[in-house]
């Protein structure tokens, strides 16, 4: 059974709109960032991705005090187990330490001596999800707070600002339809 957070973290830009929808409101300083996030969020609304939380709506808010603001509504997702969160942190450590090629060798160990093989046996679906995310090379903020689970047991990325690689025109952003 899926477990949901009973409250949104204090000081975070997210709020619960209903039992199934969360809204995130973000401020950014740069026009490049605003252009990137507008294109990205519209891309995911029009082209849902099985690795990404479903995005229901996006809105650019009025600029205030030289800051750009936007918000997007997304599916509310469930919490992971402590073991799943620890595995994600392990992969984060390995990819930070060895790069995305670390996922190619199950015997590679992190600085604490733990190998991916040890975790793959316990969490094969999570391993496959993380392997796909790392190999795609589009998401730059893997950690246990940015991955949650839907009602069907699918792992999904939630912090879409983790895709940000500005300016939008960079060749690494060619996958984003504009």
- Inform me whether the pLDDT recorded for 91 exceeds 60: yes
Does residue 144 come out as left (phi exceeding 0), alpha (psi in the -120 to 50 range) or beta? Answer: alpha
**Cβ-contact 32, 80 below 8 angstroms:** no
Q: What's the pTM value of the predicted model, to 2 decimals?
A: 0.87
Q: How far is CA 81 from CA 25, 86, 134, 172, in A?
A: 27, 9, 21, 33
Stretch among 49-53, 103-107, 137-141, 170-174 having the lowest mean pLDDT: 103-107
Domains identified in the chain and CATH numbers: 14-78+157-173 (3.30.200), 82-149 (no CATH)
CA distance 131 to 25: 29
- Inform me whether the pLDDT recorded for 99 exceeds 90: no
CA distance 130 to 87: 10
Mean pLDDT, residues 81-107: 71
- Inform me whether the pLDDT recorded for 120 exceeds 80: no
In terms of pLDDT, which residue wins out, 112 or 80? Answer: 80
């Amino acid at each position: 059974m899926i477990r949901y957070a009973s409250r949104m973290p204090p000081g975070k830009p997210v709020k619960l709109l209903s039992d199934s929808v969360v809204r995130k409101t973000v401020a950014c300083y740069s026009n490049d960032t605003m252009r990137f996030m507008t294109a990205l969020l519209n891309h995911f609304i029009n082209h849902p991705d099985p690795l990404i939380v479903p995005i229901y709506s996006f809105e650019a808010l009025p600029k205030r005090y030289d800051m750009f603001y936007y918000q997007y509504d997304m599916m509310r997702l469930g919490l992971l187990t402590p073991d799943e969160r620890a595995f994600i942190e392990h992969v984060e450590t390995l990819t930070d330490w060895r790069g995305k090629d670390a996922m190619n060798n199950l015997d590679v160990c992190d600085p604490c001596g733990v190998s991916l093989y040890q975790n793959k046996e316990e969490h094969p679906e999570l391993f496959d999800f993380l392997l796909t995310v790392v190999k795609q090379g589009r998401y730059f903020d893997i950690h246990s707070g940015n991955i949650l689970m839907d009602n069907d047991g699918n792992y999904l990325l939630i912090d879409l600002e983790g895709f940000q690689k500005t300016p939008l025109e960079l060749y690494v952003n060619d996958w984003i339809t504009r």
